[in-house]
Amino acid sequence: MTDQTVVVRDLRDAPHFFDAVADRIWRAWWEPHGFPLSHITGLLQQSLAEEAESLCLVAHVEDRFVGTASVIASDLEERPDLTPWVAAVWVDPPFRGAGIGGDIVLKAAHAALDTGAEAVHLCALPGKRAFYERLGWRLDEKDVGTDRLDVFSMRRA
Ligand SMILES: CC(C)(COP(=O)(O)OP(=O)(O)OC[C@H]1O[C@@H](n2cnc3c(N)ncnc32)[C@H](O)[C@@H]1OP(=O)(O)O)[C@@H](O)C(=O)NCCC(=O)NCCS
């Protein structure tokens, strides 16, 4: 970790981090399923163009990428009625355990709620349950889909 200040910004305001964000999302969630990097760069570009519905946050220290989280319309095919979602939460390993992941998740959730949504949703493997519950997410469902995911929500205060 570093003593330097971590800044969290909308990726639209820091587009030079686009490639780093796409790389991390691809490696974590898409490459293991055989998708090419171009698949996720396309999706990310599309999500940035859809101003009202999608958001991608990037955390950085000066020019160094630190982490990311997104707000997207749909993240779980078993729950097509729920929207929006916080998704693709990632912090680079050297920066983990210092509160950055928690901070970026909450900033993404609050940004989603600020657009007028009554609730924002998130799905995760059960191993992350303590992390999200500690941040104030409500566990709504367990064992959803073949990955047996937890589904959480956060509501406007
Ligand atoms: C999950 C992930 C985003 C967390 O990022 P992070 O920056 O380490 O998150 P935080 O630092 O906010 O919290 C992590 C842990 O550190 C603890 N922590 C937070 N601030 C701390 C501090 N100042 N000092 C010590 N520990 C701290 C938290 O309590 C939390 O503990 P827990 O794991 O027992 O819940 C990160 O591990 C990651 O990118 N993992 C791979 C991708 C992934 O799994 N994404 C989530 C998909 S649902």
Average pLDDT, the chain: 94
Q: Smallest Cα–Cα separation from 67: which of 34, 31, 32, 105?
A: 105
**Does the Cβ of 29 fall within 6 Å of ligand 1?**
no
Is 81's pLDDT higher than 70?
yes
- What is the tens place of the pLDDT at every residue in 13-37? 999 999 999 999 999 999 999 999 9
Per-domain boundaries in the chain: 7-155
- Tell me which residue has its CA closest to atom 41 in ligand 1: 90
Residue 2: predicted pLDDT: 52
**Does the Cβ of 22 fall within 6 Å of ligand 1?**
no
Q: Smallest Cα–Cα separation from 150: which of 124, 121, 120?
A: 124
- What is the tens place of the pLDDT at every residue in 89-139? 999 999 999 999 999 999 999 999 999 999 999 999 999 999 999 999 999
Provide the terminal-to-terminal Cα distance of the chain, rounded to the nearest Å. Answer: 33
Dihedral class, residue 27 (left if φ above 0, else alpha if ψ from -120 to 50, else beta):
alpha
Mutate to test the pocket of ligand 1, among 89, 123, 137 (most ligand atoms within 8 A of CB): 89
Task: Look at the block and give the residue holding tokens 């955390």.
Answer: 59
Q: Smallest Cα–Cα separation from 95: which of 65, 52, 116, 62?
A: 65
Q: Which amino acid type is present at position 129?
A: R
Indicate which atom in ligand 1 lies nearest the CA of residue 67: 39
Question: For residue 73, what is the enclosing H or E element?
Answer: none
Q: What is the pTM assigned to this prediction?
A: 0.94
For the domain bounded by 7-155, which CATH number is listed? 3.40.630.30
Q: Cβ(59)–Cβ(6) under 8 Å?
A: yes
CA separation for the pair 38, 43 (Å, rounded)? 9
- Tell me which residue has its CA closest to atom 10 in ligand 1: 99
**Does the Cβ of 89 fall within 6 Å of ligand 1?**
yes
- Tell me which residue has its CA closest to atom 40 in ligand 1: 90
